[in-house]
Amino acid sequence: MITLTLEQKQSLGFQYLLDDMQPNCVYGQELVKNAAPSSRGEREELKEELKRLSLLVEGYEKQRSFWDSMELVLMQMKEVRGSLKRGAEVVLTDLELFELKHFLLQWEKLQQLFKREDAVKLPGIVPEDTVGALDLLDPQKRRLPGFYLVDEYAEDLKQVRAQKRHLEVVLRQEHEEEKKERLLRQRQGEVAKEEEISQRIRGEITEALRPWLERIAHNCSVVGKLDFLIQKAKLALRYRGICPVLTEEELKLENMRHPAIEKRLSESHKCFTPISFQMEPGAAVITGANMGGKSVALRTVALNVILAQSGFFVYATEARVPLFDTICMVAEEYQSMQNGLSSFGGEIMQLQNAIDAQKQGFGLLVFDELARGTNPDEGASIVRAVVQYLKKRRVMAILATHYDHVAEYADYHYQVAGLNQVDMKQLEEEIHSAEGIKGIDVISKYMNYGIYQVHGKEECPRDAIHICGLLGLEPELMNLIE
């Protein structure tokens, strides 16, 4: 498992998707909270998870009744792992025995669901039969939700309760105080006997349950996997995801989308521009104007890679994704100021951590505007050197930068389309007819945030200078800029 910090999950939009999931029980909630990319060595487990998810997504609408029934049962699943742990060491209380019985009753309902004709067979989901454990907690086999030490557990329990009831009847009929006191003492004695016998029976039940505890714990895990899987399927359907193909070294993502950014744009009545990206081990550089969407492209690639490696569907029309041993992200916003470092100092520490990590195996390294916190000449030198260093390593390094003469050192160069295919005359006319700050909205409407691969040398588009002019920057200042 590859660890991501909460800040990284939030920045990339992974946490947005996790927060959009609504697991039904504590077991599913735990898996959602701890969702993270699998390690490269877990390829077979990941392939199996994606196969299960594909089966569920493909048949979800046809088997909607089945899955709705499944979720209703999952909602009733109580947390019993604490009781399972205690049951291995001490005698369980009536409350703990009640919660175990409740879990086992719901588990029996799940097993009945899987026997339905419309049930989906999910490979690798192997439930354990625990009917014997339920019978221990329900000797009458009435399958009622409550728990009570019924008379059937022991003959002496039945006898003491009968004697206690007899004394209670006599007490109600007795009016002489001295006899009533004697009867009350006798009843108290029977109550003490009952509690002693009950505690012995709880011990016997707990002892009889111990061989079942491991099976029940396994079924807790199955419940969590089912809940998590259903939420993944609903997420895939909600955002039109596809199953990624796992490769050895090729990364290819066609028409990717980023659900969190897509939603934010739709709220402003704007559309997300799908992004296509392809590379093999080496270094790729994404260039473009500051408002041109380099960071969006970078986050969209990283998010979809992480989704694939975490056993989720990805948001693209085609997805071929390798598995990485390490995933490192370097950006000013990822570093903590608690250590007293400047933002640049924090970035350099992240850079060193990323370099150390790539020595441990095949790594994905993502850099968002590295070294922007220092002067441009030194910053550009640092980024160029990082590209030259990493392209010789067995990594996939993706860098978004606004520095010039970086891409020429990379194996792959992607450029944000920006305004390079816009009718500038038409754009100028619209801006002039707009009032004040609304000119920015006009530019945003024409800006193409998609990326395209640059082959050979290509002069970096000067969108920033175009934008200065379009927004009416002082002519004398514009002449100096140009």
The tokens describing 246, both together, are 């796992």
Other residues' Cβ atoms within 10 Å of the Cβ of residue 461: 18
Contact yes or no for 467/424 (Cβ under 8 A): no
Name residue 252's beta-bridge partners: 278, 320
**Side-chain half-sphere exposure of 25, counting CA atoms within 13 A:** 26
Contact yes or no for 458/415 (Cβ under 8 A): yes
**Residue 106 above 70 pLDDT?**
yes
pTM of the model: 0.87
Give, for 31, the enclosing helix (H) or strand (E). helix 26-33
Contact yes or no for 410/367 (Cβ under 8 A): no
**Residue 468 above 80 pLDDT?**
no
Neighbour-count burial of 352, counting CB atoms closer than 10 A to its CB (0-12 exposed, 13-18 middle, 19+ buried): exposed
In angstroms, the CA 117 to CA 104 distance is 23
* Side chain identity at residue 443, one-letter code: I
From 53-62, 228-237, 285-294, the region with the lowest mean pLDDT: 285-294
**Residue 424 above 80 pLDDT?**
no
Quote the pLDDT of residue 333: 62
- pLDDT tens-digit map of 18-71: 999 999 999 999 999 999 999 889 999 999 999 999 999 998 988 898 999 999
In angstroms, the CA 180 to CA 200 distance is 30
Spatial CB neighbours of 306, under 8 Å, sequence gap ≥ 6: 4, 12, 14, 37, 327
Nearest to 399 by CA among 372, 373, 374, 377: 372
In angstroms, the CA 478 to CA 457 distance is 27
**Residue 340 above 60 pLDDT?**
no
Sequential DSSP letters for 173-233: H---HHHHHHHHHHHHHHHHHHHHHHHHHHHHHHHHHHHHHHHHHHHHHHHHHHHHHHHHH
In angstroms, the CA 97 to CA 353 distance is 49
From 206-210, 272-276, 434-438, the region with the lowest mean pLDDT: 434-438
* Side chain identity at residue 479, one-letter code: N
- pLDDT tens-digit map of 142-190: 999 899 999 999 999 999 999 999 999 998 888 888 888 999 999 999 9
Span 356-370, mean pLDDT?
A: 88
Q: Which of 212-226, 292-306, 443-457 has the highest mean pLDDT?
A: 212-226
Contact yes or no for 451/254 (Cβ under 8 A): no
In angstroms, the CA 405 to CA 408 distance is 6
Q: Helix (H, G, I), strand (E, B), or coil: what is residue 431?
A: helix
The label of the residue with tokens 């970086």 reads 406
- In Å, how far are 322, 383, 390, 402, 451 from 372, measured between CA atoms? 30, 10, 19, 9, 22
Sequential DSSP letters for 333-360: GGS-GGG---HHHHHHHHHHHHHHHHTT
Q: How confident is the model at residue 461 (pLDDT cuts 50, 70, 90)?
A: low
Name residue 253's beta-bridge partners: 277, 319
